[in-house]
């Protein structure tokens, strides 16, 4: 059946955009959901919303790039579940500039959030994932990781690295029955791309370039992530699923 009943899932960057949609979808599908984000007020508000809807969910405020917060999150998950079936590395950031204009702290932050943090968290949760009979790690990458879409070089670097990290870990951890996959969205209507959506000419160019002639909705990404998390996807690992409205299939 199409459900996640009996599964414990952790979703980073869980209060906005794709992360929030994934939290809601996983809860609806019966998972025990744990999520994290930097803004404590947003975490508390979403936790209350989920509780009032009758879902089992816990939130923790923290910075995925901070080692102390990573360790606290590991303990948080262990105390509430003792195991972890699904890890969704969704937290991400971007600053759009020409390459020569970036300050070192800006591009390092992009790499820390988008590439280093997912690797560190996945490593730290290895023991809990190994306890699961069918563990699944899903990294939220980007079309920018496999082709130039003018998203900024550091962002593209970080997502390309995340895609290769996905493939390497999938090969390494298959022996432990831990699947690792990536989902690469094209432009999705989230706060991260609001500045693009506010620029009418740029927005229209992106829509025109997209065969399906629109931006994706966060729920469409959440549905894809949910599928990869399910036991029904039990023989799928090491894949980068491009959810891009046909962009990668369009040569023109």
Catalytic residues: 155
Answer whether 228's CB lies under 8 Å from 241's CB. yes
Residue with tokens 């890890």: 87
- What's the rounded Cα separation, in Å, for the pair 246 and 105? 35
**How far from each other are the two terminal CA atoms of the chain, in whole angstroms?**
39
Coil vs helix vs strand at 188: strand
Question: How many other CB atoms are found less than 10 A from the CB of residue 38?
Answer: 16
Task: Give me the phi and psi of 206, to 5 degrees please.
Answer: -65, -45
Burial state string for 158-178 with b = 16 or more CB within 10 A and e = fewer than 16 = bbbbbbebbbebbeebeeeeb
- What's the rounded Cα separation, in Å, for the pair 87 and 186? 21
């Amino acid at each position: 059946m199409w459900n996640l009943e009996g599964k414990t899932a952790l979703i980073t960057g869980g209060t906005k955009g794709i992360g929030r949609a994934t939290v809601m979808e996983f809860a609806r599908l019966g998972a025990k959901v744990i999520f994290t984000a930097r803004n404590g007020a947003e975490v508390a508000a979403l936790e209350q919303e989920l509780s009032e809807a009758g879902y089992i969910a816990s939130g923790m405020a923290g910075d995925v790039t901070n080692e102390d917060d990573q360790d606290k999150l590991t303990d948080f998950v262990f105390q509430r579940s003792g195991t972890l079936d699904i890890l969704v590395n969704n937290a991400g950031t971007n600053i759009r500039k020409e390459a020569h204009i970036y300050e070192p702290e800006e591009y390092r932050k992009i790499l820390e959030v988008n590439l280093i943090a997912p690797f560190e968290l996945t490593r730290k949760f290895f023991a809990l994932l190994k306890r699961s009979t069918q563990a699944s790690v899903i990294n939220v990458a980007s079309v920018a990781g496999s082709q130039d879409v003018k998203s900024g070089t550091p962002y593209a670097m970080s997502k390309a690295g995340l895609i290769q990290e996905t493939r390497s870990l999938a090969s390494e951890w298959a022996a432990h029955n831990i699947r690792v996959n990536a989902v690469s969205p094209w432009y999705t209507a989230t706060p991260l791309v609001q500045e693009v959506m506010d620029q009418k000419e740029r927005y229209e160019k992106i829509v025109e370039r997209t065969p399906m002639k629109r931006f994706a909705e966060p729920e469409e990404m959440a549905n894809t992530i949910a599928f990869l998390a399910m036991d029904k996807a039990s023989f799928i690992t090491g894949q980068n699923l491009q959810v891009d409205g046909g962009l990668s299939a369009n040569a023109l």
